[in-house]
Structure 1
Amino acid sequence: MATSAPLISKSQLSSGIETLDHQEQHSLDDTIEKYIEGFGPAQYLQVILVSLAFLFDGQQTFISDFSDAVPSWHCTDFSNQTCYSSSNFCNLSNTEWAWDEPASSSIVSDWALECGSSVIVGLPASSYFVGSLIGGFTLATLADSWLGRKKLLFLTCLGMSTMALITAFSTNVWMYSGLRFVSGLFRASIGTCVVVMSTEMAGKKSGGFVRVVGFLFFALGALSLPLIAYLNRGSPWRYLYIYTSIPAIVYCIIAYFFVSESPRWLCMRGREAEAVAILNKMVPTKNISSSILKSAYKPLDHEQSNLDIYSSMKSLLERRWALKRLLAAMTLGFGVGMVYYGMFLGVGSLGFNIYLSVTLTASLTIPSILLLPYVIERFNRRSSVVAFGIASGVCSIVCAIIGEELKTVQIIMSLASAFCSCAALNVLQIYTTELFPTCVRISATSMFRQAINFGPIFVPLLVSAARRNNSVVYGVFGSVEISCIFFVIFLPETRGLSLSNAMDEQEKKDNANAYVS
């Protein structure tokens, strides 16, 4: 009688499939990983140089907290009780009140926008994020096609910095908003290039450190702004753009000569000799040859993809699994990003000194960043995103419920929400780079980051409403974030899995993992 036991067990079949796949096409990630593990001084320097771009990105992202702020004012006549009893200087004549600092200290007082529409006051900040949104769609795919990671990082950072310098010479709010739009257009791909380049240059053992450095520089960029603005208090707002843009331009020149291109991207473009030269420079103790890399991957048809710079985007949209992941990641980015940027851009409504507000909010992001290596090493990506995202949303809703009657508690809960949203966003950015193969990684990560930038477009308008009732804004933040966070169920877990190079390779891995599970 025949036995019912299978001739080949499930684990044996799975192992056989993996062995066959490995024989057909070796993993470029595993091959490069073997040579770059250990993270030497050259790799350390590369990650630092690349991540420095994030510092200047952080400065330009939150510079409007100071350049566009409504300055404090005072009554000019001590005996005028009508003035002292009024909380709105727009109801007073121009002779009854005056700014505490020179009118040139903010665009609001410089161009007499104080009693204008809240839409006009919030237009420059919104324009910046609209530019970021459009720039992400139009520029990011260039890094996956013919331009590459390094050149895109250089061009976008230089473009953002140059526009910031020109912004200092704006003559009206319309010119100012237009230049902020162009500046945002260029900066859209900076964060994407930093995250992806750092990930592709380092080995898995040093991944925690690499992933912290970039986010830490972004936080330091935001944290440096209060100091620069405080030292610049009483001076024209234009100086703030000059002081932040010139060092960024100098950095771009240094980065152009000393930052190396991603070896993984070079291999995918069929440029093995350049990849080998970079790997040998980063790890001089190991003799790496072109033949080793050629046996580990199948290069893209770079002649065809050079003709179509949007080939990587087409690959994302044509494959159902990739489109599903992309939409889920973008929904998550929108919800978490709205709270993260909202807490930064709305610090003026916290009720105390703006320099202290920005400093405190930025300082809280640093512990959340330093916590990242522990989180990504010990916990799954999906559970980490859910935990931090829900905690941030709940804190925002608590702020809405308690209102301004318990102002101190509201401030503490809003800062806690900022801390958790920062942690969720950092995990999400790492998670997204792991969800997609090398050939489309920049494009997918950039689409995710544009979803993050979509929420802040509406934040300035919400912050304007917060002057009357900031509880409504907190309620919107919390509800949106909690609603979006559950889209994580449509994403696979990536913890402990190696990066893929091509779309077909990613599909094979996903199918094998699904069969085993």
Structure 2
Amino acid sequence: MRHDSRPAAVVAPVPSSRRSPSTRRTIMTTHDGAGTTALPPDVRGPHTSRLGLVTVIATFGGLLFGYDTGVINGALEPLTRDLGLTAFTEGFVVSILIFGAAVGAVIGGTLSDRHGRRHNILLLAIVFMIGTLGCVLAPGWEVLAIFRFILGLAVGGASATVPVYLAEIAPAERRGGLVTRNEVMIVSGQFAAFVINAVIYNIWGDIDWIWRVMLLVALAPAIVLFIGMLRMPESPRWLVAQGREAEALAVLRQVRSPQRAEAEMSEVHRLAAEEQASRTGGATDLGVRWIRRLILIGAGLGVFQQATGINSIMYYGTQLLGDAGFSANAAIVANTLNGLFSVLGITVGILIINKINRRTMLLGGFALTTTFHLLVGLSALLLPDGTAKAYFILVFVILFVFCMQGTIGPLVWLILSEIFPLKIRSLAIGISVFVLWVANALVALVFPPMVQTVGIANSFFVFVVLGLAALVFVAKVVPETRGRSLEKLEEQFRTQYA
């Protein structure tokens, strides 16, 4: 993490709720270019192709992450018919994966630190396969829920491990770009799930068990991930942390030029030491008032990010559009636009995020998403049922997704990376992100019964109220972090909340 007055560089943050404490910790240590300027340039050579292959294989973990969280969107309609789901059991089956991901992120980060990044990705590929097959063969919703939880463990583990692996094996000057590929693969995986579901449903949608085929598609990238990772190297930084320096140098020689590999060992040592320093904070630090305040701000940002309801759209978009007036076939096709504009939104967000003050962009993001929530609610309440109503709701939902993924989604992760001092960073981000995962799961759990009970209009009016609360929260307590060093922020909070 930077300790100077310049803003940290952005590593394409995951939309919505996608990063674990371990992920953020490692990515933050890669932002600091200090100490790397004397390194020889990373010239192209055979090692460049090797690094490219490592990146492609590892990001299949991100693809699986996206596909497995997005596939339920289009699969719910036949799934509900086949297994007789109610609004509650539907929300339970969807949200149980997110609860599993919250647990998996913690366990995955721990196992990754203990046994190695590559080892953990191999294990996750097996869990992805087991979870997928269990879901496909489930005789009832209870068994489906169990294997969705197992699949969630893999999703959370992937969020904690894959970006860490990429960040640690990439050269410093290319680190942001390579980690970005994983984030792009996540949203692309969701988009792919929406498209594949639309194709399958429009051909075989009258078959009740067709949802099993939709879920089965995820088995192929899981197999590719497992077979591919068998031939991939371990993270050099993890090897150095274990005292296995000869192996670390051998890995660097695979993915760097010979001169660069030798010179980079000191940089690997420095980053490993910085990461170790970020783990020295403990529960006793929670007794310090200004630290508690910072953690509450971080947790609040996580809650309000999820209170936008972004994942209600990503998990239930097809059903929402069906309730708005589209036919089942048209709804699942229209839902692919949510995936497309999610990808476009995060792309725009990455381009502008370092050009606008954090608070300004965050306030603007919440103002826009709250406005589109209001417009969706008013459209559902005031417009007569029919094609026009359905398309108005579709347009406002798409615009909400675009604005959310272009502002609030990446900004929350960036602010979390900037507000916590090094000593408590792992502890504070761990708490904040766990709260974010739980908020994600709770929204996924309550959205179907809420829509069934109060309707689309009132459901989105609830999001309006939450959006207004988020605006007050940001305006009152969230600090501006752009262009401010950690030392200045820490001094401000020590003085203000001592």
Structure 2 length normalisation: TM-score? 0.73
Per-residue deviation, residues 366-425 of structure 1 (Å, max 9, x unmatched): 111222332234234444333323322232133224434342333322211111222221
Counterpart residue number, 2:312:
342
Counterpart residue number, 2:252:
279
Task: For CA contacts below 8 A with separation 6 or more, give which structure has more relative contact order.
Answer: 2
- Give the secondary structure class of the aligned counterpart of 1:63: helix
2:461 pairs, out of 459, 475, 481, with: 475
Structure 2, unmatched stretches of 5+, are 6-30, 384-388
1:330 pairs, out of 294, 299, 311, with: 299
Per-residue deviation, residues 419-456 of structure 1 (Å, max 9, x unmatched): 12222212333443455688986776555443333233
Would you say the 8 A contact 2:42–2:256 is kept in 1? no
* C-alpha deviation, 1:324, in angstroms: 4.3
* Cα 1:120/1:391, change in 2 over 3 Å: same
- Larger helix proportion of the pair: 2
Per-residue deviation, residues 68-92 of structure 1 (Å, max 9, x unmatched): 22xxxxxxxxxxxxxxxxxxxxxxx
* C-alpha deviation, 1:125, in angstroms: 0.6
**1:81-230 residue pairs with structure 2 within 5 A?**
106-113=78-85, 117-143=86-112, 145-202=113-170, 205-206=173-174, 209-230=177-198
Matched AA of 1:282: V
- Give the secondary structure class of the aligned counterpart of 2:382: coil
* Cα 1:482/1:43, change in 2 over 3 Å: farther
Counterpart residue number, 1:357:
334
- Give the secondary structure class of the aligned counterpart of 1:286: helix
Would you say the 8 A contact 2:419–2:489 is kept in 1? no
Structure 1, unmatched stretches of 5+, are 1-13, 16-26, 70-105, 498-505
Counterpart residue number, 1:292:
266
Worse overlay, 216-225 or 377-386: 377-386
CA distance in 1, matches of 2:464, 2:426: 29
* C-alpha deviation, 1:362, in angstroms: 0.2
* C-alpha deviation, 1:334, in angstroms: 2.3
CA distance in 1, matches of 2:162, 2:233: 11
Would you say the 8 A contact 2:345–2:401 is kept in 1? no
Structure 1 length normalisation: TM-score? 0.71
CA distance in 1, matches of 2:248, 2:423: 16
**1:384-403 residue pairs with structure 2 within 5 A?**
384-403=361-380
* C-alpha deviation, 1:180, in angstroms: 0.9
* C-alpha deviation, 1:176, in angstroms: 0.9
Counterpart residue number, 1:55:
63
* Cα 1:136/1:208, change in 2 over 3 Å: closer
Counterpart residue number, 1:374:
351
Counterpart residue number, 2:22:
none
Per-residue deviation, residues 262-297 of structure 1 (Å, max 9, x unmatched): 62x544555544443333433214252587358847
* Cα 1:231/1:356, change in 2 over 3 Å: closer
* C-alpha deviation, 1:53, in angstroms: 1.2
Would you say the 8 A contact 2:132–2:219 is kept in 1? yes
* Cα 1:275/1:316, change in 2 over 3 Å: farther
CA distance in 1, matches of 2:161, 2:32: 20
CA distance in 1, matches of 2:243, 2:80: 53
* C-alpha deviation, 1:183, in angstroms: 1.5
Would you say the 8 A contact 2:236–2:252 is kept in 1? no
CA distance in 2, matches of 1:46, 1:439: 32
Matched AA of 2:84: A
User: What percentage of residue pairs aligned between the two structures are identical?
Assistant: 17
Matched AA of 2:469: S
Would you say the 8 A contact 1:365–1:422 is kept in 2? yes
CA distance in 2, matches of 1:197, 1:131: 22
Would you say the 8 A contact 1:37–1:204 is kept in 2? no
* C-alpha deviation, 1:108, in angstroms: 1.8
CA distance in 2, matches of 1:50, 1:496: 34
* C-alpha deviation, 1:248, in angstroms: 1.4
Would you say the 8 A contact 1:122–1:460 is kept in 2? yes
CA distance in 2, matches of 1:462, 1:58: 20
- Give the secondary structure class of the aligned counterpart of 2:335: helix
Counterpart residue number, 1:464:
449
Residue 419 (1) aligns with residue 402 (2): yes
- Give the secondary structure class of the aligned counterpart of 1:413: helix
Worse overlay, 195-204 or 213-222: 195-204
Max radius of gyration: which structure?
1
Would you say the 8 A contact 1:329–1:448 is kept in 2? yes
The alignment's C-alpha RMSD in Å is 3.9
* Cα 1:276/1:494, change in 2 over 3 Å: farther
CA distance in 2, matches of 1:36, 1:427: 33
Matched AA of 2:62: F
Counterpart residue number, 2:223:
249
* C-alpha deviation, 1:131, in angstroms: 1.7
Would you say the 8 A contact 2:40–2:263 is kept in 1? no
Worse overlay, 270-279 or 289-298: 289-298
- Give the secondary structure class of the aligned counterpart of 1:30: coil
Worse overlay, 347-356 or 275-284: 275-284
* Cα 1:43/1:294, change in 2 over 3 Å: closer
CA distance in 1, matches of 2:370, 2:191: 24
Counterpart residue number, 1:493:
481
Matched AA of 1:54: G
* C-alpha deviation, 1:251, in angstroms: 1.2
Matched AA of 2:119: K
* Cα 1:158/1:426, change in 2 over 3 Å: farther
CA distance in 2, matches of 1:440, 1:411: 43
* C-alpha deviation, 1:241, in angstroms: 2.0
* C-alpha deviation, 1:221, in angstroms: 0.8
CA distance in 2, matches of 1:132, 1:118: 22
